[in-house]
Amino acid sequence: MSEEADTITIDDKEYSLDDLSDECKTEIQSLQFCEGEIARLNAKLAVAGTARIAYQRAVAKLMPQESDSGDGVLLEEDK
């Protein structure tokens, strides 16, 4: 859906806003609001996803490293 001066294009068909009912115009405004909210939330999701990756990397760096002297078996006293 794209909007120009006094027309709107929906499904590749152009409509004059003057020809649309008030109810239809209201629905279009609601649709545009929803599209804006989805874009805003997707941007927030991208930020949260990036932060999540950074936290995962930080946790991985802080985890105890396995020593080369061990046999790979985790003993109670190693916990």
Buried b (16+ CB within 10 A) or exposed e, 45-56: eeeeeeeeeeee
C-alpha angle 16/36/31, rounded to 5°? 45
pLDDT tens by residue, 38-73:
999 999 999 999 999 999 999 999 999 876 555 555
- Answer yes or no: is pLDDT of 3 > 90: no
pLDDT tens by residue, 5-31:
699 999 999 999 999 999 999 999 999
Element (H, E) at 69: none
Element (H, E) at 1: none
- Is 20:28 a contact under the CB 8 Å cutoff? yes
